[in-house]
Chains A and B, each alone.
Chain A
Amino acid sequence: MEIFRPSEKTIRILQQLALAAGLFAFILCILILVNFYQLKRVDPLNSPAMKVMIERLNNHPEDEQLKQEIRELDLLARKAFFANRWQIKTGGYLLAFSLLIVVISLKTIELWRIKHPEIPMSKPGSFWDQRMLNMRWVTYSGIGLIAISFLVAYLSHQQLGEQMDRMGLKPAQLAEEQPFQQLNTSASDSNLLTGKDSLAAADSLVSEAQGAIPTQKEINENFPAFRGIGGNGTSFHKNIPTKWDGKSGKNIKWKTAIPLPGFNSPVIWGNKVFLTGANTTKKEVYCFDLENGKILWITPIANIPGSPAGAPKVNGETGYSAPTVATDGRRVYAIFANGDLAALDMDGKVVWSKNLGQPKNHYGHSSSLLVYQDLLLVQYDQSGNGAVMAFNSLTGKQAWKTARDVKISWASPILVNTGSRMELILLAEPYMISYNPSNGKELWRVDCISGEVGPSAAYADGIAFSVNDYSKLAAVKVGTPNSILWENDEYLSDIPSPVANSKYVFLPTSYGMMVCYDAKTGNKYWEKDFGTPTYSSPMLVDGKVFQLDKKGVMHIFSPDKAYQSISEPQLGEGSVCTPAFSEGRIIIRGDKHLYCISN
């Protein structure tokens, strides 16, 4: 078959056509590059003339002529913009078309031009030489790649890994963490430890699960704050003793003197019990061995930058270390009457500390601390500039701060799971206010309280309870919208906090009364006069209510419609603090000693 052979003239024409099209494409590229460069320098939407005219319009909003001028300018700018778009599109197509002509021309020439294969002049290279050369350069490339990788890894060292190591985060473990559980004060948790090995298992659990954030399981196994889990007067522990005698030593496992006084309550994590003590010159954090009561360490809290030189003026019934510590099993956190706030690791070493400013509080600061995930929550209501704050538990850096338009409060916050979210609930005249503990945003508030507020709120089954002397007991339906379900002012408390479950709310009074109301309706079921003043808050644990009076008598009764006393053991020493619970144990701070009660 005879192949078409174009003449040399035809080939020259194609070459000239390719050259012309190529030159045209080159010019187009130059123009596009110039336009692109100019675009980077200018912002057409913010032209100075438009800005000037808009500013004039703001000063003279009724100038119709100016409005018309702006509209005309805007229309012109839009036309210019769309003209540019057309230019870009058309230029792109012209560029593509011209390049296509170049390619077609050159490819046609290539196809038509006869190319005879030729024997290369040089001898073929040695196969083995080429192979060895290739192998050497593959090796060199490999070595170079490793060197470059090491260099890149060194130069681009990230903080993320270090930060996570410091926080104890283990990625593989994090993925297995369970979501936050619904707190149920009446149901028995199947994960609770039982038997004599509970402490050993708890220690093992603590050592194995030392992530930066405590899991809900860990929290349920321990007693991390004032009034237990979330500060709400409950814990999940079982086998709590109901009989002991301080005088005879019956069921008193150990008794240890506390170096400095304080009205804060014990907190337990693993086999460690934490307290603080303070006087006008010293502030200390204590750690006791849960098994034998020995003091494991004492850490003085001093020399904090910004800490005031003199001791604050406090009431004798508040003292210099009324707030109870909080812990997450990684660190223990303490606050004192002068505003000193410190975080210590579990061996007593100060991790971080700061001063929040001496609070303007005529009785002395007494709001206890709470921990939520990696945040330390601080209620800091004072005379003016009241606030609730959160600090990063690892670093002490303030995570959020929300100002509070309330009066001084001596109540402690509670942290509850209302089913749909976590809520941080605070009491102070005149409001009960709920916050998002993650970011400090207010969720809702109710005007329901007055006076100098000392009792903390109680929560159960969607209802929060507030009470104060010379005010009233109120049941608030939480959430948005919220409402006051019922109120009662027959019996009131000024220091101890109420405790509630889904059926009842138990209200202690500082003069020794205990009253039981229906949680939903406010109907009073019974009242009982213990005859002794009470500053300790009741605890609802192991299916019983534990109420410690000032003389050290523990009134234990059933949480029922009718009062039914179980026992009334005596400590043999006065107490104003709320007890802490562990499996099979009660830890009570007396006036001068720390007691461990166990069967």
Chain B
Amino acid sequence: MKKTLTLLILICLNLFFSWNAFSIQRFPKPEFESGYTQPDTLMPSARAEILAYMDVAVLILALSFISWLVLKKRSRKGVFWTSMFSLIYFGFYREGCVCSIGAIQNVSLALFDSSYTLPVTALAFFAIPLIFTLFVGRTFCAGICPFGAMQDLVAFKPMSIGVRLNAILGLLPYLYLALSILYAATGTDFIICRYDPFVGIFRMNASFGMFVFAGGLLISGIFIARPYCRFLCPYGVLLNWFSRYSRRHMTITPAHCIQCRLCEGSCPYDAIEIPVTETKNHDNTKQRLKRLIMMSFIIPLLMVVGGYTGYLLHETLAGVHSKVRLANQVINTEVSPLKAETFEIQAYKSSGKTQAQVLKEAGIVLSKFKKGSIILGGFIGLLFGLLIAGKLLKRHNPDYIPHKGRCFSCARCIDYCPVKAEN
């Protein structure tokens, strides 16, 4: 009877365990009686430095090639297959790191923390795409960035999302950029890397939440082309700015636009600007000057409002930092001493630190966040001011042209143009 009961228990456990997946707990080390010696766990050796420089070389070569494909060859298929190469190499082979997007944080930390040594390769990955963008537009997005390549792969039924949604979602990258710089500069966290949705796919290892986030982005990317690139990517903000002043940029037509309207619906990113031929009162010099003078007062006001808003939020933003979090827990423990103690509280008590020391450390961090948040808010205010002011500028363009900032140089629209290059 006893043996039968044991067997029944074993059978039930067998059935029970077979349904469990994603177990994140580890069994304790067994006590071997046979004399077996468990091998030591070895840390993988660091990647050779020469290979890091090879990555930089591959980046330069790939950027050069894609730029040639976009500007000279004008080949959509070439761009597509180059992006597949980048997806394999920079994505699955290099597992999404180092990437240009995350390098923003390395550069920010290096600027504000003298004890941090910026890796040369991180600086290269940050600067080289920007330099190329300054000359040839956002060819990095066209076919080098593995994130963009993955999203481009699933853009089967892209559709326009309208002016309103574009206006609202288009602000998110600026916020993400500002926050990522703030958290990196204060030494708090690299939030771009922590919340990168695609690295988990490249490594086949991520938390469940991040897998869901990535899946959601890709599914939405079927209909809203490149959602991460357009509405989240902080590096895209910098590329947008640099591309506006690029020396050369991809054009829809190799020669003169004949306004045939065939390319009007070709861009999945709403980056094609329609011709502006009509004359409005906006062109009146006197009224335009009046509006610009008004904006010269509004922009500083927006910066002040933004700075004050940032000041109000600085404690909330600083709450992510471990020292500030500990200080809050210490205070809460005093207010509600009956609550169960967290690990942080237990560690704090055993360290022998006084409350004032904890608050002092948190205060220093809080001071940094106060300054940073005010600057962040001022930057956002300035951004809004410039966005509004930009809408008031004179514009006259008779052709269909890609918006130099928003265009990803993906070469989709090229095939829609019936005009051939002049001999």
Contacts and interface: CB of A to CB of B under 8 A. Distances in A.
Interface of A: 32, 35-36, 38-39, 42-45, 47, 49, 69, 72-74, 76-78, 80-81, 83-85, 87-88, 91-93, 96, 103, 106-107, 110-111, 117-120, 124-128, 130-135, 137-139, 141-142, 145-146, 149-150, 152-153, 156-161, 163-164, 167, 169-172, 174-175, 212-213, 373-375, 392, 395, 397, 399, 436, 438-439, 441
Given A73-B13, A88-B22, A134-B166, A160 B315 contact: yes
A92 B204 contact: yes
A152 B313 contact: yes
Contacts of B324: 160
B1 interface: no
B27 A78 contact: yes
For the complex of A and B, 3 pairs with smallest distance between CB atoms: A80-B17, A35-B21, A171-B367
Contacts of B164: 133, 137
A43 B276 CA distance: 65
Contacts of A96: 204
Contacts of A138: 167, 171, 384, 387-388, 391
Contacts of A150: 309, 312
Interface stretch (B63-71, B105-113, B255-263): B255-263
A49 B13 contact: yes
A142 B384 contact: yes
Nearest to B360: A174
Given A135-B391, A374-B355, A39 B13 contact: no
A169 B392 CA distance: 48
A535 B332 CA distance: 47
Given A134-B167, A135-B388, A141-B168, A174 B316 contact: no
Interface in B245-275: 260-266, 273-275
Contact of A81 (B6, B23, B266, B312): B23
A149 B264 contact: no
11 contacts: A32-B22, A35-B22, A36-B21, A38-B20, A38-B21, A43-B25, A45-B27, A88-B22, A119-B264, A132-B391, A156-B319
A225 to B, nearest CB: 18
Nearest to B390: A135
B42 to A, nearest CB: 20
Given A117-B262, A138-B384, A164-B359, A44 B313 contact: no
Interface of B: 6, 9-10, 12-14, 16-23, 25, 27, 30, 77, 153-154, 156, 163-164, 166-168, 171, 204, 208, 260-266, 273-276, 278, 280, 282, 302, 305, 309, 312-313, 315-316, 319, 324, 327-328, 331-332, 334-335, 349, 352-357, 359-360, 362-364, 366-367, 370, 380, 384, 387-388, 391-392, 395, 415-416
Nearest to B315: A158
B16 A42 contact: yes
Contacts of A161: 315, 366
Contacts of A141: 167-168, 171
Contacts of B22: 32, 35-36, 39, 84, 88
Contact of B27 (A77, A83, A93): A77
Contact of B391 (A35, A125, A131): A131
Nearest to A47: B13
Contacts of B12: 49
A108 to B, nearest CB: 12
A169 B364 CA distance: 10
